[in-house]
Amino acid sequence: MAFISKLTLTDFRNYSSLGVGFHHGAVVLTGDNGAGKTNLLEAISFLAPGRGFRRALLADVAREGGSGTFAIHASIDGQDGPAELGTGTTSPDILTGESSRKVRINGANARSAEALLEWLRVMWLTPAMDGLFTGSGADRRRFLDRLVVTVNTSHSQTTSAYEKAMRDRNRMLTDNVRDDSWFAAVEAQMAEAGTAVAAARAETLRLIAAMVEKLPGGGPFPQADLMLDGVVESLVSEMPAVEAEEHFRALLAQGRERDRAAGRAIEGPHRSDLRVRHRPKDMPAELCSTGEQKALLVGIVLSHARLCGEMSGLTPILLLDEIAAHLDAGRRAALFEILDDLGGQSFMTGTEAALFSSLRGRAQFLRVDHGSVTRED
Ligand SMILES: Nc1ncnc2c1ncn2[C@@H]1O[C@H](COP(=O)(O)OP(=O)(O)OP(=O)(O)O)[C@@H](O)[C@H]1O
Ligand SMILES: [Mg+2]
């Protein structure tokens, strides 16, 4: 179990300088539109690998009118005792004008942001994800890979290895390289990494599905059936990984001329999709109502959080932005119960504290007001 006991922000979005202490368990942040609630959650999302939950450009994250860089610092109470996590940007490079994100753990530079996963896991549900089931396959794939990497920390490495090999091959295709042995070498790399990516996705979904079974049938968060739609994912479900890798390699070799015409790889885990069905209604998620889709998504994220907790002892910190908006009173109460039961730290935002009134006495209530955060008891 790990939780953030203190967060310090410098020139992050609308916060010039902020220091705030958090309790373990549920934290409720309320405030007017534009107060800085989502920004605070976004800062916490930078304590995971990636670009934060808005996937913003680093330059947009630094406070307008500030120094041009930002810093986030978190004191955590971790499984192995307290730790200090820090991240932020460096001053822009004089030549390129670009700045990069650095991560520090206990005062030392970390090799990559993935090192954060040893201390903390973070997952989120934001209003931007409301259209996940109806939106682009790329967004669903990103969501899927975040579920995977939070359980299986080597997943981002294999994903990067796959993408790098694919980019190399795409370049060979557009440069009209004709050397078969070059293609064979890069396709072998793609097949090896791509099969590992697909296998990790399939394994994580299998484990999440086992947790989904524990959601009460007929309960507020419907059971979801999760399926992977992808060539290599199908292969790994039908045969041992070594054979799937061999098949994928052969598919790439066969598809070379077709891919050359397209200028890129047409098939592979970079094209896979996550299909979700609402089991009680026997309906694809994309045909469900807004509230039903939200309830499905909440069910998946909570099942995944339970899985992480059981597998690694690190129940993810949950960032639930405007979570109450689409949930009726019964579903809100059920959500609070499940969060309690999970036992991790969760951050919930809303404009109205009244939506969280049943959490009084059980959660920490904070008021966000234009760059400052105060206790609201
Ligand atoms: N780089 C930046 N520098 C300064 N201010 C910023 C920056 N980026 C965003 N903001 C401002 O931060 C403010 C707070 O944004 P935030 O999204 O956190 O609000 P919120 O409290 O979640 O509001 P809502 O209830 O509408 O969702 C906004 O007014 C926004 O314009
Ligand atoms: Mg907001």
Task: With beta carbons less than 8 A apart as the criterion, state whether 58 and 73 touch.
Answer: no
Instruction: Looking at the CA of residue 322, tell me the nearest atom of ligand 1.
Output: 27
Residue 126 has what pLDDT? 97
Which of 38, 55, 57, 69 is the pocket-test mutation for ligand 1 (most atoms within 8 Å of CB)?
Answer: 38
Question: For residue 59, what are its two tokens?
Answer: 């330059």
* pLDDT of the residue at 1: 79
**Which of 13, 323, 352, when mutated, tests ligand 1's pocket best, judged by the most ligand atoms within 8 Å of its CB?**
13
Find the 48 Cα to ligand 2 centroid distance in Å: 20
CA 349 to centroid of ligand 2, rounded, Å: 8
Give, using CA atoms, the residue closest to atom 12 of ligand 1.
Answer: 14
pLDDT exceeds cutoff 80 at 188: yes
pLDDT band at 353 (very low <50, low <70, confident <90, very high): very high
Model pLDDT, residue 97: 75
Taking the CA of residue 62 as reference, the ligand 1 atom at the shortest distance is: 1
How many whole angstroms from 334 Cα to the centroid of ligand 1? 30
80-105 tens-digit pLDDT? 899 999 999 988 777 887 788 999 99
Please report the atom of ligand 1 found closest to the CA of residue 64.
3
Q: Any bridge partners for residue 83, and if so which?
A: 76
Who lines ligand 1 at CB under 6 A? 13-14, 31, 33-39, 60, 63-64, 351
pLDDT tens string 105-117: 999 999 999 999 9
Instruction: Give the pLDDT confidence score for residue 377 in this predicted structure.
Output: 66
What pLDDT, in 10s, does the model give residues 128-183?
999 999 999 999 999 999 999 999 999 999 999 999 999 999 999 999 999 999 99
**What's the rounded mean pLDDT across residues 267-274?**
98
- Give the distance (Å) from ligand 2 centre to CA of residue 315: 24
Quote the mean pLDDT of the chain: 95
pLDDT tens digit sequence for 34-48: 999 999 999 999 999
Residue-level pLDDT at 215: 84
Mutate to test the pocket of ligand 1, among 10, 12, 37, 55 (most ligand atoms within 8 A of CB): 37
Q: Which long-range contacts (CB under 8 A, 24 or more apart) does 126-131 make?
A: 126/38, 126/41, 126/53, 126/319, 126/321, 126/322, 127/321, 127/322, 127/325, 128/53, 128/54, 129/297, 130/290, 130/293, 130/294, 130/326
Q: In what order do the strands lie in the sheet with 101-105?
A: 15-21, 3-12, 71-78, 81-89, 101-105, 108-109
pLDDT tens for 283-292 read 999 999 999 9
* Ligand 2 is an ion; residues with CB less than 5 A from it: 37-38
| Residues composing the chain | 377
Percent of all residues in the chain with a pLDDT value above 70, rounded to a whole number: 100
CA of 129 to the centre of ligand 1 (A): 18
pTM exceeds 0.85: yes
Cα of 94 vs its chain's centroid, Å: 32
CA 82 / ligand 2 centre spacing (Å): 30
Residue 21 carries which side chain, given as an amino acid letter? Answer: G
In this prediction, residue 354 carries a pLDDT of: 93
**pLDDT tens, 209-218?**
999 998 887 8
Q: Which domains are present in the chain?
A: 1-121+321-326+347-377 (3.40.50.300), 124-313 (1.20.1050.90)
